[in-house]
Structure 1
Amino acid sequence: MAGLERQVTLRFLAEPADVNFGGKVHGGAVMKWIDLAAYACAAAWSGKYCITAYAGGIRFVKPIHVGNIVETSAKVIYTGRSSMHLAIDVKAGDPKNPERYLTTHCIVIMVAVDDAGKPTDVPEWKPLFDEDIALRDSAIRLMDMRKKIGAEMEAHVK
């Protein structure tokens, strides 16, 4: 049922096929995992098919190693009419140990679409706790900053 499941965590092991030439998990693999978690979270919240509209502010904090257990968590932090802003955290660690360290963080915006591919309404998310209010307020500030950056970028598009 839409509007009930706000957070999703995907768990899996980092595999040798995920490694770059430096011997650590490739940033592109991490970005794929982020997109998968974002989709799973947005689809669960909206009850609809969703597409990625934006991924930004990606911070690669620490490397992920082959054999690490990886947890990619997505959480709704703001909803528009058809969009959902999601905070994504990627954590990893030795699967034999319960401790996980933050490896990557970013914001992803997903849009729910109908069968014709047109944006469609999503349930509104209303923060109840101080931490959630702060996340929502941060999402709004980031939205305002993206508008300013978009206006500046127009000068580079010909």
Structure 2
Amino acid sequence: MNYGKHSYQFQFISEPSDVNHVGNVHGGSVMKWIDQAGYACATTWSSNYSVTVYVGGIRFYEPIKICEIVQVEAQVIYTGTSSMHISINVFSRNLKQPDFDKKTHCIIVFVAVDENGKKLPVPKWIPETEKEKQNEAYAIRLMQLREKLEDEMKPFL
């Protein structure tokens, strides 16, 4: 991934305090890392404080073990007027292995806000590569699916 203003990466070692009762990193720890990387990416892109308004489709592919190197990648894949859709991928690897394996994926939507919580406009993200164009189309499809899901859930709210 080419890291610039539209992307962010964290890398660290998972710690004993991150582990659940079976020796894997707790899903809540992974979700915290996802939110932190997404926040860093969104605030860097917007140059403003940003709040999480949606986290969707968190998919845990494989567990992360204790003392593995963890890499969390966040990338803007679509912007609205004030919203930013951030793709998050989490990878890990054993210290003795050279390659990372993908462990988790999700999309987070952030909104830039001022000190009173009022939405602020964000710079338009324009995809350049074919992969970025595919990611933007993916974000738009997910947004359309969320709208359908919200309509379905209205009677239960």
TM range (shorter): over 0.9
- 2:131 pairs with 1:131: yes
AA partner of residue 14 (structure 2): A
AA partner of residue 31 (structure 2): M
Matches of 1:5 and 1:97, distance apart in 2: 30
User: 1:66 maps to which residue?
Assistant: 66
What is the 5 A alignment of 1:1-158? Answer: 5-157=5-157
Q: TM-score by structure 1 length?
A: 0.95
Counterpart of 1:122 in 2: which secondary structure?
coil
Uncovered stretches (5+) of structure 2, i.e. residues with no partner: none
The structural deviation recorded for 1:28 is 0.4
Q: TM-score by structure 2 length?
A: 0.95
Counterpart of 1:109 in 2: which secondary structure?
strand
Counterpart of 1:98 in 2: which secondary structure?
coil
Matches of 1:60 and 1:16, distance apart in 2: 20
* CA RMSD after TM alignment: 0.9
Q: Aligned residues, how many? A: 154
Matches of 1:46 and 1:76, distance apart in 2: 10
Percent identity for Structure 1 against Structure 2? 47
Deviations 1:42-88 (CA, angstroms, capped at 9, x unpaired): 01111110000101111000110110010010000000001000110
